[in-house]
Every structure is written in structure tokens, then in C-alpha cells.
Amino acid sequence: MDISLQQVEYRYQANSPFERLAIQNVSIDIPSGTYLAIIGHTGSGKSTILQHLNAILRPTEGKVVIGDREVTNAKKQKNLKEIRKRVGIVFQFPEHQLFEETVEKDICFGPMNFGVSEADAKVRARKAIKQVGLSEEILQKSPFDLSGGQMRRVAIAGVLAMEPDVIVLDEPTAGLDPRGRKEIMDMFYQLHKERNLSTVLVTHSMEDASQYADQIVIMHQGQVYKKGTPREIFHSPDGLIELGLDVPEVVRFQQKLEAAFKTKLAKTCITLDELTDEIDQLFKRGEPK
Amino acid sequence: MMEKMIFGRYIPAESPLHRMDPRSKILLVFLFVCVVFIANNAITYGLLAVYTFLMVLSSKVPIRFILGGLRIVLWLVLFTLVLHLFFTKEGDVLFQWGSISIYEGGLKQGIFISVRFFLLILMTSLLTLTTTPIEITDGIEVLLDPLKKIKFPVHELALMMSISLRFIPTLMEETDKIMKAQTARGVEFSGGPIKDRVKAIIPLLIPLFIGSFKRAEELATAMEARGYRGGEGRTKYRQLRWGFVDTVMLLILAFVTAALVLFRS
């Protein structure tokens, strides 16, 4: 399912003394099957964009096209549930949304709200719990007896069990240990590859964005600062560094290497493998002297 | 969704009401609550309404914003009005339709009580709109100070109040977040049959409760870690100062009270 934001503007608490412009003139296309990363500082409007993707917020100006639905400020929208069924959002710290007596019931909650029968929902719950790397025994436990990391996974399973066409992730690994972080990111990437699931990742981490995404959008003060493939974005990293954004280690290394040896590598490297290949080439050419 | 609530919310501005000492403001509101009951006819209620309106004006908080925030309360006011219309049977019958009859006394009573109710809410919201929660608790602590003589835990009470006031916005934010998360999982909080809407409260309330308990525990730990041991020997960074505005405001209220006594029937 394609999603496209067209000149979207959003003001919080419009027409009150607290009115605040969150995003302005934001246009982003997310064709079916893309892995898009949205990066920016706190307060740059990332989370506001994310909430437009399944019509939790409606733009105060401009429009959001989700599949064949058009969401604008103008008319009262009916049946937004249809959109939410197809666009699953994993919010920041999703473990705060757990509430049922058992993990199984909690995972079934989403699908059953969208009209899946109890039996089918249970099948989905079993599948989802395995996808997030937990064992089936956990299904009968109370979600509040689990560790923080397990709760996070259960909450993610609750969204996966809805079997959305698009999955939106808001800092899904915040507060996890490095290993859990990698496991979860790898799991989402695998899902994206296997099911051709459109994925939107909102993150602080340039490393994650460069490693997984095919498209990156950089947000700055409520506007799109730059968008393109990771290679395009990191081709000239100076602007990003000026904004105070992190640049992946590989890119930083390449920059320092090029400066130290006054040379240019053949391309902008994104992964460690690419970088080692390029350096290898450099040596073969007989540089640095 | 919770953006329009105004209870317990402070709106910064430069106005005489904002400059007032919290003690005099609390006193003023307390006195107003008593004075409201003096009014018993159209003139006195009108006087009260004008007074309240002028107070709202002088606070420099946009009126549209206040009225928008009180929309829920307006329903309550309307409800009392309707109750009085149908159940007070005094005076002449104004209107009769089948077994339903509306009396003159009912209409009068209904309007008066709704106006009284509305003015009370307006004035008390004005207090919280123009005073920071910290100021309010500081004020209350000082005003209740004499009660310490009879071993009343004044400081603890003030602390409890400031903590609960402090966490209203946090709780609102949390409510908003959880509502959004559950909306994304297919819950409909607005719209749909009543039965479904009541059911939708459970996935909202349980996470809220759990979050609150966790926060309370963390707060207790943090306070203990920093050596909190009650009000004994504690000094204040913000000193309360009684100014000219405070005296004037109380005098105005005294004047209004005198007028009310004069004009009441």
C-alpha cells in the first residue's frame, strides 16, 4: 500500500494560547515495499509525521494519501479503522500499552478489534510470539511478570499479529541492550524482506538508518531538510554534522581517511564491507604512498 | 484529544491577577465561594456575574479559551437546570404538556443555581489558570499554618497537593499516548455504540494505573535518596509578598459583598 504526504502542515492545539507549529510543508512518498527511515533531533517533528501515517492526527493543511484513502482536515472522516488495520504503529515504549491478563489475550486484542475471530487470533498470536523471538510458554503468563525486554517484544508481537501492510516503528529499540537492539532491528528487516512489508523507522540512530533503510528523510525544525538514499545522504555529510546529527562510523572513517591521505575513495561507503573493499582497492592502486 | 482541558493548567501572562500573592488569591476565591450564596435575586446574581466577568477580563486569559475548556462543565450546568425545571414545583404553572408541567419557581431556581454553579467554577478555574501549582501549595501551607498547633500535618498535606497537581499534566500526556497506542490497535474512543466505548476504558485505565504506581515508587525513592524528611527546618526560595494589588482586590470583593447584602431580597 502506497502512502504519500503532500505539503502536510500540523499545528498542535490550533486556536489556543498553546498553538504550536509542529511540521510544515512536508512531502514524503512511501511506495509499497520501501524501507524508509526518518531521522532528526527531538522536537524536529518525527513523531508528528508518524501519527499522520494512520490518521491518528489529521493534517491542519495539505493531505495524506493512504492507499486509496485521502485524509485531510476538511471533511469528517469515517471508518478510519480500515486504515489502522493496514498500517500498524509500534509506538515508543510500546510496553506501556499492555493491559490484558495474559500475553496471549494482549496479542489477540488488536486483531480481534479488527474483526479477526478468536481462534484465528490465537493462531496469529503463536506465530507472532515466535517472530519476536519468545517461546510459546510465555503466552499464558501475565505481561506484567515479564522483564522489560520481553514486554517490549510482546507489545511488538501485538502489532505484528494485526498483519498490517505497512509497519511504522517509533524508536523501537530505545532503552534496550545492544544485543536486544540488534535482534529486534534484524527481525524487522527480515519481515520487510520476506513479506515485502513497507517499513517506516523513526530513529535517532544514523547507524540503524544507514544499515537498513533504502530511503532516508532528515527532519530539521519541522521541515524536510534532506531526503534520498543513504548513499546520497552521506555523500556530503558536512551539512548533517553542522546540524549536530550523528554520522555513521563508516562514513566518518572514510572522511578522515580521505582527509589524512588527500585522496578520494571511488564511492561513498555505507557498510563496513564496502569500506574494507574500497580500502583494499586503494592499497592495490599503490596508495597511500 | 486532551488538549482542550483547562483544569489545573497554568497560563502565563502579565496581569494583576498573575501578580497577586497566592495567599490573597486563595482567600479571595474562598470568600467568593461563601459570598455567592448571599445572592438571591436577579440584581444580585447580575452583580456577581459582572464581577466575575471583570475578573476574567483582568486575568488576560482568552475568554474563548476558558469557555472552550469548560464545555464539559457546561453540560453539568445544563443538567442542573433541567433537573430544577422539572422537579421544583413552586409558584405559577408556566407551561404544561401532558403530565409535565414547568413552574415559575422551577425556572427561576434553575437559572439561579446554574448561574451560581457556573460562576463558582469560573472563579476557581481562574485561580488555577493564573497561579502556578507551586504557588498555590505555598499559599495553602502558609494559610493553614495555625493548624500546626493542633498537630495537623500541614506540610504533608501541602506536599501531597503539590505532587498531585504536578502530575496532572504528566497523567494527561500519558493518557493521550496510551489512547493513541490503543487507537492504533483498533480501539475507538469516540464514536461507536456506548457499550463499546465503555469497554474501551479498560485498555486505557489499566496501563495508566500501572504507570502511576511505578512513578509513585520512583518518586519516593528519589525523595529518600535526596534526604527528604518533611517540613522541619525547611527554608523557602520563593518568599510570598503581600502587595498593593492584593489589598485592592480584597477591598473590591468586600465592596461587592456589601452591595449584595444591600440588594438581596
Cα B152 vs. chain centroid, distance in angstroms?
25
Domain ranges for chain B: 1-131+239-265, 155-234
Q: By C-alpha distance, which of B129, B7, B128 is closest to B62?
A: B129
Helices (H), A98-237: 103-113, 118-131, 148-160, 178-195, 206-212, 230-235
Give the pLDDT of residue A261: 84
B62:A17 CB<8 A:
yes
Q: Which domain holds residue A257?
A: 248-289
A287 pLDDT exceeds 70? no
Pick from A17, A114, A159: CB nearest B65: A17
Averaged pLDDT for residues A228-255? 86
Quote the CA–CA distance of B10 and A288 in Å, as a whole number: 65
Range name among B24-28, B88-92, B151-155, B209-213 with the lowest pLDDT average? B88-92
A80-104 pLDDT tens trace: 888 899 999 999 999 999 999 999 9
Q: What is the mean pLDDT of chain A?
A: 89
Pick from B62, B65, B178: CB nearest A97: B178
CB A233 within 8 A of CB A240: yes
The SS3 call for residue B21 is coil
User: What's the pLDDT band for B145 if we cut at 50, 70, 90?
Assistant: confident
Number of domains in chain A: 1
A109-119 pLDDT tens trace: 999 999 999 99
Best residue in A18, A99, A151 to probe B by mutation, most B CBs within 10 Å? A99
**B240 close to A (CB below 8 A):** no
Task: Please name the residue of chain A whose CA is at the shortest distance from the CA of residue B192.
Answer: A79
User: What's the pLDDT band for B258 if we cut at 50, 70, 90?
Assistant: very high
A241 pLDDT exceeds 90? no
Range name among A13-27, A63-77, A213-227, B82-96 with the lowest pLDDT average? B82-96
Sequence-distant (6+) residues with CB within 8 A of A98 are A106, A143, A144, A151, A154, A155, A158, B207
The fraction of chain A above a pLDDT of 70, given in percent, is: 98
B211:A96 CB<8 A:
yes
Q: Let me know if residue A91 belongs to a domain.
A: no
More confident residue, A75 or B13: B13
B85-137 pLDDT tens trace: 888 777 777 777 777 778 888 888 889 989 999 999 899 989 988 998 888 88
Grid coordinates belonging to A229: 538514499
Cα B85 vs. chain centroid, distance in angstroms?
26
DSSP B159: H
Pick from A56, A85, A98: CB nearest B180: A56
User: What's the pLDDT band for B1 if we cut at 50, 70, 90?
Assistant: very low
B183:A12 CB<8 A:
no
Pick from A18, A81, A144: CB nearest B186: A81
Pick from B64, B181, B187: CB nearest A94: B181
At residue A286, what is the residue type?
A: G
Quote the CA–CA distance of A67 and B159 in Å, as a whole number: 52
B22 pLDDT exceeds 80? yes
Give the pLDDT of residue B2: 46
Helices (H), chain B: 16-19, 22-35, 42-59, 63-69, 71-87, 104-130, 133-143, 154-184, 194-199, 202-225, 244-263
Give the pLDDT of residue B6: 66
Best residue in B60, B185, B208 to probe A by mutation, most A CBs within 10 Å? B185
A279 pLDDT exceeds 70? yes
Can you tell me which residue has the cell 507551586? B134
B205 pLDDT exceeds 70? yes
Maximum mean pLDDT: which of A69-73, B31-35, B122-126: B31-35
Q: Prior bond to A288 cis, omega within 30?
A: yes
Neighbours of B257 (CB within 10 A): 16
pTM given for the model: 0.75
Task: Please name the residue of chain A whose CA is at the shortest distance from the CA of residue B178.
Answer: A97
The SS3 call for residue A49 is helix
Q: Measure Cα distances from A197 to A90, B97, B126, B132 in Å.
A: 14, 64, 52, 49
B152 pLDDT exceeds 90? no
Quote the CA–CA distance of B16 and B25 in Å, as a whole number: 11
Give the pLDDT of residue B44: 92
Range list of β-strands (E), chain A: 3-12, 20-30, 35-39, 61-66, 69-71, 87-90, 166-170, 198-203, 215-220, 223-228
Give the pLDDT of residue B88: 77
**B184 close to A (CB below 8 A):** yes
Quote the CA–CA distance of A202 and A49 in Å, as a whole number: 9
A2-37 pLDDT tens trace: 999 999 999 988 777 778 899 999 999 999 999 999
**B203 close to A (CB below 8 A):** yes
Q: Quote ipTM for the complex.
A: 0.87
Neighboring chain B residues of A16 at a CB cutoff of 8 Å = 3-4, 62, 65, 68
Quote the CA–CA distance of B203 and B188 in Å, as a whole number: 11
More confident residue, B199 or A100: A100
Sequence-distant (6+) residues with CB within 8 A of B82 are B110
**B181 close to A (CB below 8 A):** yes
A99:B207 CB<8 A:
yes
Quote the CA–CA distance of A12 and A21 in Å, as a whole number: 6
Size of the A and B interface in Cβ pairs below 8 Å:
65
Supply φ then ψ for residue B88, to 5 degrees.
-90, 120
Give the pLDDT of residue B229: 81
Q: Backbone dihedral region of B25: left (phi > 0), alpha (psi from -120 to 50 degrees) or beta?
A: alpha
User: What's the pLDDT band for A288 if we cut at 50, 70, 90?
Assistant: low
Sequence-distant (6+) residues with CB within 8 A of A174 are A92, A93
